[in-house]
Amino acid sequence: MSTSPGDTVTLSLEEAFDLSRNALLGAGLSAEQAQAVAEVIVAGQRDECHSHGLYRLIGCAHSVRTGKVNPVANPVVVDTAPSIVKVDADFGFSSFAFNKAIPLAAEKARQQGLAALAINNCFHFSALWPEVETFAQQGFAAIAMTPSHSWVAPAGGTKPVLGTNPFAFAWPRPQRPPFVFDFATSATARGEIELHRRAGTSLQPGLAIDERGIPTTNAAEALKGAMLTFGGHKGSALSAMVELLAGSLIGDMLSLESQEFDAGAGAAPCHGELLLIFDLAKFLGGALNDNLARAERLFDAIVTQGARLPSQRRYEARQRSRKYGVTIPKKLYDDLVALINDHLETSDRAISERT
């Protein structure tokens, strides 16, 4: 670990993982769940997706402390239909349940050509790209989507109804990392606004309105008011689709219901997630390689004019982080150490009260 005069701390990926795992174990998560959650958080920080990196540990610990998250969740994978897998996350964090369901979902996609994986009853705080990327690394194309809490006003409205509802896609590429995009259907992720609030910086215009429905660039006001969708009515409709497919279709909570279930506790959203996994070989048979090559033509036509592919920044950040470690604000590092120390003090006190 090293500190710099610029008030930042640099950690190796191993140190970042140990810090995360210790914070999660200290919060009371089982070893298996802490492992799965630490992995997704460190992956976010490693790829410089700051809104879903180490800062999320604070929210995870809080979510466990509220008593809502099941710290010893035991996800159960259910073979629901020839092309449908469901996993009941047992009110633990989604990543743990997702990991358990990967093998059956991949097997079904290979058999049927297309498989749906529904995660139910999960607390969800993470980025979706690690999940679609996992499937693309096995040669599949994949889509993922999930609701959140009702923080976002529909286009033309001022009251929060929709979640920030991310949508992610991955496409496998021969001898290259997959093509991946992953974004909220709100104009930005709520995590970005929370990072602005922590840093005391202003938002770009067009992201949110305050409680009176007036546009604001003040992060605290935006968090109290409503976020806006990206692309106006287009983001609004996509967001509603996410509510329907990753909520109603899989028998789980809408963002509105997740917010009600939270009842002011401030825990991570609790709902479901839907993934669709496509087996290219099953779709294309002997034409697989030709069509992968046609896809490469598309990517070439994008990058040769100077545009970049989504995920390119992330892959570059990944290389950097592997070499130099990850850099976070010193305030965040101090908050995380304080989180671990608080847990240690609480458990010391509990032991001395018992003896």
Q: By the criterion CB under 6 A, which residues form the site for ligand NDP?
A: 49, 51-52, 124-129, 146, 148, 164, 166, 168, 181-184, 188-189, 192, 308, 310-314
- 3-class state of residue 229 by DSSP: strand
Least Å distance between CB 164 and ligand PYC?
3
Catalytic center residues: 51-52, 192
Binds 24: which of ligand PYC, ligand NDP, none (CB < 5-8 Å by kind)? none
Contact flag: residue 190 with ligand PYC (CB under 6 A): yes
Least Å distance between CB 151 and ligand PYC?
7
Characterize 76-111 residue by residue with b for buried, 16 or more Cβ atoms within 10 angstroms of its Cβ, and e for exposed: ebeeeeebbbbbbbbbbbbbbbbbbbbebbbebbbe
Distance of CA 83 to the CA centre of its chain: 24
Region of 8-16, 186-194, 251-259, 344-352 interacting with ligand PYC (CB under 6 A): 186-194
Region of 16-24, 77-85, 184-192, 285-293 interacting with ligand PYC (CB under 6 A): 184-192
Contact flag: residue 239 with ligand PYC (CB under 6 A): no
Least Å distance between CB 180 and ligand NDP?
6
Characterize 275-304 residue by residue with b for buried, 16 or more Cβ atoms within 10 angstroms of its Cβ, and e for exposed: bbbbbbeeeeeeebeeebeebeeeeeeeee
Contact flag: residue 71 with ligand PYC (CB under 6 A): no
Which residue number, 172 or 247, has a Cβ lying nearer to ligand PYC?
Answer: 247
Q: Residues 189, 245, 276, 332: which binds ligand PYC (CB under 6 A)?
A: 189
Q: How wide is the angle at C-alpha 169 spanned by C-alphas 82 and 35, nearest 5°?
A: 80
Q: How far is CA 3 from CA 50, 241, 276, in A?
A: 18, 45, 43
Report the C-alpha gap between 327 and 8 in whole angstroms: 6
Which residue number, 184 or 340, has a Cβ lying nearer to ligand NDP?
Answer: 184
**Residue linked to tokens 């999940």:** 131
**Residue linked to tokens 């089982």:** 30
Contacts (CB under 6 A) with ligand PYC, residues 135-154: 148
Contacts (CB under 6 A) with ligand PYC, residues 218-237: none
- The token pair at 213 is 């429905």
- The token pair at 342 is 């608080």
- 3-class state of residue 141 by DSSP: strand
Q: Residues 53, 269, 272, 325: which binds ligand PYC (CB under 6 A)?
A: 269
Contacts (CB under 6 A) with ligand PYC, residues 156-175: 164
Q: Residues 33, 35, 51, 259: which binds ligand PYC (CB under 6 A)?
A: 51
Q: How wide is the angle at C-alpha 317 spanned by C-alphas 330 and 267, nearest 5°?
A: 55
Q: Which residues of this chain interact with ligand PYC, rule CB under 6 A?
A: 51, 125, 148, 164, 184, 189-191, 269
